[in-house]
Amino acid sequence: MNLLKLLIALLLALSCCSIANAEKTLGPEPKVLGDLGLVIVASGSPDYIKEWLNTKPSRGVTIKRLKVAQPEQLIITSFLVTGFTPDQNGNISLLVSFALLDPNGKEVFSQHHYAKVSGKAPENPSYIMADPALDIVLEKSDPEGEYTIIGIVEDLVSNKFARSSYKIKLVKKSV
């Protein structure tokens, strides 16, 4: 299943909520084998997974990152790993941990080894989506402001780590 998730040099689908704010940006090129990297993307809809699976690797994808959310809105977060190191048999093994910080930098929640990637390494530099995606719902009682998702990927073959972060703003009024 993870091999099917492979494909593309990044993406994120469009937020389906009109109150949500999305930013379109071209994603970075995938890193070469051994140069571990992590990109975090968020969307207001799980439809991006279908787009990820149905896009040819040679086509490239425009990322539509959710940047502003409202209370009770579903935020689907994916961890895209690149630059992994295959073992002697061509297999990869990666684990992703995360933490969500509130606008004051205080940890809201976190999970060690939340998502994983395993299987045959692709022949060309690419991104692989760790499984599962992370669903976040900020509530009305949560303070407004900028929340930070921090991700850490661990390559179990090379023993390397890479860290990345993603910011999303919670607003309680329509934008």
Domain parsing of the chain, residue ranges? 2-170
Residues 94 and 155 sit within 8 Å (Cβ to Cβ)? yes
CA gap 99, 90 in Å, rounded: 30
Give 174's pLDDT tier (boundaries 50, 70, 90). low
Residue 5 has what pLDDT?
Answer: 30
Handedness of CA 40, 45, 126, 4 (dihedral sign): positive
For 87-100, the pLDDT digits (tens) are 999 999 999 999 99
CA gap 33, 85 in Å, rounded: 5
For 106-134, the pLDDT digits (tens) are 999 999 999 999 999 988 888 888 999 99
In CATH terms, the fold of domain 2-170 is: Immunoglobulin-like (2.60.40)
